[in-house]
Structure 1
Amino acid sequence: MPRAISHLHAEQFDGQSSDTIVLAHDERHLRRKLLKSANGMELLVDFPQAVALGHGDALVLEDGSLVRIAAADEPLYEVTARDRTHLAKLCWHLGNRHLPAQIEEERILIGRDHVIRDMLLSLGATIREISAPFSPERGAYHSHGGHGHHHDHGRHHHHD
């Protein structure tokens, strides 16, 4: 079985690959996993540590061949606002709830959740159901291979 031993970011290769693997956003963070390509090839991803793969990245197989990663279409809400300040406030509310969000200049994409939809509507957002690739922001805790939530939402006690 072919084995993926490293990866390239999209800007590091010309997009030419022998095959493609389509994965949802929560499937693109992996270390060791069996995957199936669009052409039916099974391969084992075997990285020394967990990696967050993006749309257009490539897996490098042991024989040097490349398999492109494509973001799967997912059921999303497209959130738009009255203006940029309103959009920033909506981002704050989503971030305060630690929701995966793809933040763009004119819109925010989030996974569908009726409770969050209702909250955003009450804040004056416009919501449209779409199906599209989803590449949410990776938090600061995930940028160096971290995995977890390390800050306290409770009261902070300072000692003199």
Structure 2
Amino acid sequence: MPVRVAALPRDPALYQRVVDIPLTAEERRRVRRRLAAPDGEEVWLELPTGTILRPGQILAVVEGTAYRVVAAEEDVLLVFPLSPGQGVGIGHLIGNLHRDVVVEGDVAIVLWDPVLADRLRRLGVRVERARRPFGGDVPAPHGH
């Protein structure tokens, strides 16, 4: 019988086991669908529109087993500013493009975008493409 998730646990019970469900940034926005957990359990998401799942979030606790969201590996752009000033400019550019950014030490990480990578290279910024978990969000549709 599938696990139905219509609301996220606010205060999860103690659990003996954790099953991680890897989801990409885009998949963490899709909250009305079926997921297959690695242990074979079927998890049906029926969460309110607009809900965004976050890495580390517990979806459900069933018979002592917690089902937890983790960031799946995906293509990302690693951005290495040469100075704090350049980092501010890069942050401004990425923000104007409404991209989510995760900062780890001296590296800014965004979802892979070949146009952004090319633009940053032309500005003299060192960038690399990598495959790793991305803890940020995918850009949401918006208007000005």
Compute the TM-score of the two structures, normalised by the length of structure 2: 0.81
Letter in 1 for 2:48: P
Contact residue 103 and residue 136 of structure 1 kept, 8 A: no
Q: What is the RMSD of the two structures over their aligned residues, measured on CA atoms?
A: 2.9
| CA displacement at 1:47 relative to structure 2 | 1.9
Matched, 1:72 2:72: yes
Stretches of structure 1 that go unaligned for 5 or more consecutive residues are 140-146, 152-160
Contact residue 2 and residue 44 of structure 1 kept, 8 A: yes
Letter in 1 for 2:5: A
Stretches of structure 2 that go unaligned for 5 or more consecutive residues are none
Higher relative contact order (CA 8 A, sep 6+): 2
- Alignment deviations for residues 85-132 of structure 1 (CA, whole Å, 9 cap, x no partner): 211110111111222322344121122222211100112211122111
Letter in 1 for 2:25: H
1:122 paired residue number: 122
Give, in whole Å, the separation in 2 of the partners of 1:68 and 1:3: 14
Give, in whole Å, the separation in 1 of the partners of 2:62 and 2:13: 17
Q: Which has the larger radius of gyration?
A: 1
Contact residue 5 and residue 61 of structure 1 kept, 8 A: no
Contact residue 81 and residue 107 of structure 1 kept, 8 A: yes
1:155 paired residue number: none
Letter in 2 for 1:149: H
Aligned residues: 143
- Alignment deviations for residues 34-89 of structure 1 (CA, whole Å, 9 cap, x no partner): 11111222110122343211111110257785201111011111101111221111
1:44 paired residue number: 44
Q: Percent identity, please.
A: 24
1:59 paired residue number: 59
1:6 paired residue number: 7
Give, in whole Å, the separation in 2 of the partners of 1:131 and 1:16: 31
For the structure 1 residues 62 and 40, does the alpha-carbon distance in structure 2 shift closer, same or farther, using more than 3 Å as the test? closer
- Report SS of the residue matched to 1:7: coil
For the structure 1 residues 150 and 27, does the alpha-carbon distance in structure 2 shift closer, same or farther, using more than 3 Å as the test? same
1:149 paired residue number: 142
Contact residue 71 and residue 133 of structure 1 kept, 8 A: yes
Letter in 1 for 2:54: G
